[in-house]
């Protein structure tokens, strides 16, 4: 009986290794997310296929075409050791595989008034938790903590962008000036840093000679390789503007916007066709 069991196991391994990769991709791309994540632990070959960037892009494209939504629910829980530098994430799905809406519950360490509402682009979610910046991948249900910015200045804004040409994810970090403009309570953007996700993750100083005078006041929206966020500009920082950051060329530009009420806290852009229209 034991010999028969070993024989079956050996045959199963042989079948999985001899299966053409193209056929594996065709099968894997049609699987539910929950099943796909389990395949990573089956073998190194299967894990390499699932984690391959081309396959991930293909799977995301298939997922976008399916009439199914995704909801991430973040919940904080108290801990006794508040000095921990890294948030711990635990996820579980609370909806059946055939439901039209998938709900994932994400639990993380609680710190008062430090969790910044996450933003997402091309399948990845960027979250800021105190001084910690991380990226969460819903497909693999894994998160990575990005290295801390090597700057003595306070961070004003951190946004995730995606370049569809080179398939690169980049994080733009904006730090504040040491002093505020006279008669103004808003901090002026001083330094710009860029981090490219990949094998060698490190921050590099923005090399643009002239950075438009502005102060970020909202989260981002990334469209076709360009990262947008709302800001105020001018000598007194009272003129509304849209900042555009080309993810591929790493160039920052200022777009004049119609007058908006900057006393109201803006949320995400309402749509792609009119960047100056916000949900209030």
pLDDT in tens, 61-90: 776 665 455 666 666 655 554 444 444 555
Q: In the block, which residue shows the tokens 């028969």?
A: 4
For the cut 50, the answer to whether the pLDDT of residue 153 exceeds it is: yes
Token reading at 231: 């800001």
For the chain, the distance separating the N- and C-terminal CA atoms, rounded to the nearest angstrom, is 68
- Structural contact between residues 175 and 154, judged by C-beta atoms closer than 8 angstroms: yes
- Give the pLDDT of residue 195: 92
- Structural contact between residues 194 and 204, judged by C-beta atoms closer than 8 angstroms: yes
Reported as a single tens digit per residue, the pLDDT across 166-213 is: 989 999 988 887 777 666 677 888 888 999 998 667 899 887 778 888
Token reading at 25: 């991709």
What is the rounded average pLDDT of the residues 214-228? 85
Measure the CA–CA gap between 76 and 110, rounded to whole angstroms: 5
HSE toward the beta carbon, residue 151, CA cutoff 13 A = 22
Measure the CA–CA gap between 269 and 121, rounded to whole angstroms: 14
How many degrees, rounded to 5, is the angle at CA 227 between CA 225 and CA 231? 160
User: DSSP assignment, residue 38?
Assistant: H
Reported as a single tens digit per residue, the pLDDT across 5-59 is: 444 344 344 445 567 888 888 888 878 777 888 888 888 888 888 888 888 888 8
For the cut 80, the answer to whether the pLDDT of residue 263 exceeds it is: no
> Who wins on pLDDT, 154 or 184?
154
Range with the poorest average pLDDT among 143-157, 159-173, 236-250? 143-157
Measure the CA–CA gap between 67 and 103, rounded to whole angstroms: 14
- Give the pLDDT of residue 12: 41
Measure the CA–CA gap between 131 and 148, rounded to whole angstroms: 8
- Find the helix packing angle between 21-28 and 44-51, rounded to 10°: 60
- Structural contact between residues 70 and 102, judged by C-beta atoms closer than 8 angstroms: yes
Strands 101-109 vs 69-77: parallel, antiparallel or unpaired: parallel
Sorted by sequence, the CB contacts under 8 Å of residue 80 that are 6+ apart come out as none
Share of the chain above pLDDT 90, in %: 11
Q: In the block, which residue shows the tokens 């007058």?
A: 259
Other beta carbons within 10 Å of 35: 11
- Give the pLDDT of residue 194: 93
Measure the CA–CA gap between 280 and 277, rounded to whole angstroms: 9
Beta bridge partners of 104: 72, 93
Determine phi and psi for 182, rounding to 5 degrees: -60, 130
Helix or strand holding residue 228 (H, E): strand 226-233
Determine phi and psi for 59, rounding to 5 degrees: -65, -40
Domain ranges of the chain: 15-65, 67-132, 146-280
Collapsed DSSP state (helix, strand, coil) of residue 118: strand
Token reading at 200: 């060698």
For the cut 80, the answer to whether the pLDDT of residue 261 exceeds it is: no
């Amino acid at each position: 009986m034991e010999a028969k069991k070993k024989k079956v196991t050996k045959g199963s391994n042989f079948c999985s290794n001899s299966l053409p990769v193209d056929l594996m991709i065709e099968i894997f791309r049609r699987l539910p997310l929950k099943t796909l994540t389990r395949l990573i632990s089956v073998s190194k070959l299967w894990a390499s296929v699932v984690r391959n960037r081309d396959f991930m892009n293909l799977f995301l494209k298939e997922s976008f075409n399916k009439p199914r939504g995704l909801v991430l629910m973040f919940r904080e829980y108290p801990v006794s050791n508040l000095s921990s530098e890294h948030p711990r994430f635990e996820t579980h799905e609370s909806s059946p595989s055939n439901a039209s809406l998938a709900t994932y519950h994400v639990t993380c360490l609680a710190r008062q008034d430090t969790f910044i509402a996450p933003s997402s682009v091309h399948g990845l979610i960027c979250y800021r938790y105190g001084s910690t910046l991380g990226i969460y991948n819903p497909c693999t249900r894994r998160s990575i903590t990005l290295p801390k910015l090597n700057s003595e200045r306070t961070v004003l804004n951190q946004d995730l962008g995606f370049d569809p040409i080179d398939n690169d994810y980049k994080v733009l970090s904006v730090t504040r000036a040491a002093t505020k403009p006279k008669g103004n309570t808003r901090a002026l953007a001083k330094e710009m840093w860029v981090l490219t996700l990949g094998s060698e993750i490190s921050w590099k100083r923005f090399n643009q000679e002239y950075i438009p005078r502005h102060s970020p006041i909202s989260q981002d929206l990334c469209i076709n390789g360009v990262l947008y966020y709302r800001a105020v500009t001018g000598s007194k920082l009272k003129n509304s503007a849209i900042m555009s950051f080309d993810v591929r060329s790493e160039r920052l530009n200022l777009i004049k916007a119609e007058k908006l009420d900057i006393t109201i806290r803006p949320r995400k852009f309402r749509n792609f066709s009119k960047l100056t229209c916000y949900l209030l």
